[in-house]
Structure 1
Amino acid sequence: MGPAEHGTGPGADAPVHSQGEPGRARTRDGRELYYQRRAGPEGRPTVVFEGGLAAGRSYWAGVQTALADVAPTVVYDRSGLGRSPAAPPGASRRLHALADDLGDLLDHLGPGGPFLLVGHSWGGPLVRLAAAARPARVAGLVLVDPSDEACDLLFEPSMRRAERAGQLATVWLARLGLLGRVYRSLTAALPPDAAADLRAEGFTVAMTRARGRELEDAAGDLRALLKNPPGLAGLPVTVVSAGRTSAGMPESVRRRATVSHAYRARQSPHGRHVVLPEADHMVVTTSAAELAEEIRRLAT
């Protein structure tokens, strides 16, 4: 990695972009993943952020900038999102394949780590898989309102219907150029440069295709985790739950999700479960400062 990819160090001028300097990491099958890196204090694990379903790097900007004095940070786009080219049509976008891509990004950043992995929603099980593949280089995990196989609701037929309806609505709104309006409050919470990137890249028809591929068999991916739970070798795990309901997360769903989060935290000898009362499912923007504080606990 050349100096231009490292961003700026402590005490230097702020990076040109709030999310840091750009770089590209190559996967084992030759694809490229676009990432941005902000430098931070030396001797701290690099915090690597993993987005939710079809969510790219930009919506982490508020959390990332809040950690500027804490640790180096990296955000990236999965294949087909943001500035990362789409994977070939026959390439799997199932959970294990996405975790392999994250592992390849970590190899590029520095194979030995240490890394603190932060995963939101669908990114939660993804970072667990990536950590289990090589736990020695992982300092800990922060799971942010994660999808979790301990939540039986995720296996119900109603969830499959909701996924199909959500995908159809997302495609329709993207084709009409209206999807960004649905997420105005999200973009408004971000630094201006990250908000501009998200408006340009996050609500496209191409994104909806990547979303559909990631949803190919979500229930099957979660069943695989039930059958073969990722072994985290006693790593510290903080699980953050939202305290408020939101679209798609009414009170009954919210309650069952939070119970599964408490269970996940209990599986770690160094587990911590935190409920952020002012956050909805989009914790990364509705409670960015509070989430950054939970990340700080594990990074310092």
Structure 2
Amino acid sequence: MTVVFEAGAADSRSSWALVQLRVAAFARTVVYDRSGLGRSAPNPAERTLDRMADDLNDLLDASPPGPLILVGHSAGGPIVRLAASRRPDRIAGLVLVDPTDELVGILFSRAFRLGERAVLQFNRVLARLGLLRRLYQWQLDAMPAPDVRTELGEEGFTPGVVRTHAAQARTFLNELATWRQRPPDLGEIPVTVISGTRPGDGLSSRARAQTNTAHAARAAVSPRGRHVLAETSSHYVPFTDPELIAAEIHRLTGAP
């Protein structure tokens, strides 16, 4: 069994360090950087959801043979859903960690889109000044080893990362909106959805409630769906509750 991790919108492979460390005890693990993030070079083509799912499937084609479990956090959730729908024969399960979901209506409001643009502009300025990492010092402090902390600090908060995030954001929500009528078909693939329970990390109490309702509905669509609450977490569950994620992956692998 191989477990492949897909990070959130502006995150690199390092965001999975705490979870990967635990999962590696019972399964083969693969982390990677999408184009323009971490150690991967930028891609001049549009960073559409469709393209990112194809890139993931290209990676899976080169992965060790055997059943695959895909794990996606935040914006990585739709990416693994779309990739899995295109090659369901090789997917043994999905774990969606506080995923972005088309059933969350607030994502498509004018206020949310304006807020997203404002945050991106603010982050551009901070990244140019070398200050963006200070906002996320808590993530660096959570890293399990000095080398991982150094890599995240050097790769995670640069102007290039913000440019990639902005390139993804140009089309992401528009593509996701089309799924409200025709979502990717996952067939019989088991789906576990893990939700944070606390507001914060950009989610108000209202947005958190709407998000978790959508997550419960997403899990219910799967014939073997499961909705799990991360009681001590807001959005960044891979940093704040890695044991819970690892436990859900372990359950899907069927490992002893």
SS in 2 for 1:109: coil
**Structure with larger Rg:** 1
Q: Is 1:254 aligned with 2:208?
A: yes
TM-superposed deviation, 1:113: 3.4
Once the two structures are superposed, residues 73-104 of structure 1 have per-residue CA deviations (whole angstroms, 9 ceiling, x without a partner) of 0100000111101002xx12110100000000
Q: In the alignment, which residue of structure 2 is the partner of 1:207?
A: 161
Q: One-letter code of the match for 2:212?
A: T
- 1:1-300 equivalence runs, <5 A: 45-88=1-44, 91-110=45-64, 112-191=65-144, 192-300=146-254
| Cα-Cα RMSD | 1.0
Q: C-alpha distance in 2, partners of 1:193/1:118?
A: 23
SS in 2 for 1:275: strand
Greater fraction helix: 2
TM-score (norm 1): 0.83
SS in 2 for 1:146: coil
Mark the runs of 5 or more structure 1 residues left unpaired by the alignment. Answer: 1-44
Which structure is richer in relative contact order (CA contacts within 8 A, separation 6 or more)? 2
TM-superposed deviation, 1:227: 3.0
Q: One-letter code of the match for 1:211?
A: H
Equivalent pair of 2:201/2:236 in contact (CA under 8 Å): no
Using the aligned pairs only, state the percent identity: 48
Name the stretch that deviates more: 222-231 or 98-107. Answer: 222-231
SS in 1 for 2:180: helix
Runs of 4+ in 1 over 4 A off after TM superposition: none
Once the two structures are superposed, residues 4-60 of structure 1 have per-residue CA deviations (whole angstroms, 9 ceiling, x without a partner) of xxxxxxxxxxxxxxxxxxxxxxxxxxxxxxxxxxxxxxxxx2110001112110010
Q: One-letter code of the match for 1:61?
A: A
Q: C-alpha distance in 2, partners of 1:170/1:291?
A: 29
Once the two structures are superposed, residues 101-130 of structure 1 have per-residue CA deviations (whole angstroms, 9 ceiling, x without a partner) of 0000000114x5311000000000110000
Q: C-alpha distance in 2, partners of 1:209/1:288?
A: 28
SS in 2 for 1:227: coil
SS in 2 for 1:220: helix
TM-score (norm 2): 0.96
TM-superposed deviation, 1:190: 1.1
Aligned length: 253
Q: C-alpha distance in 1, partners of 2:69/2:98?
A: 17
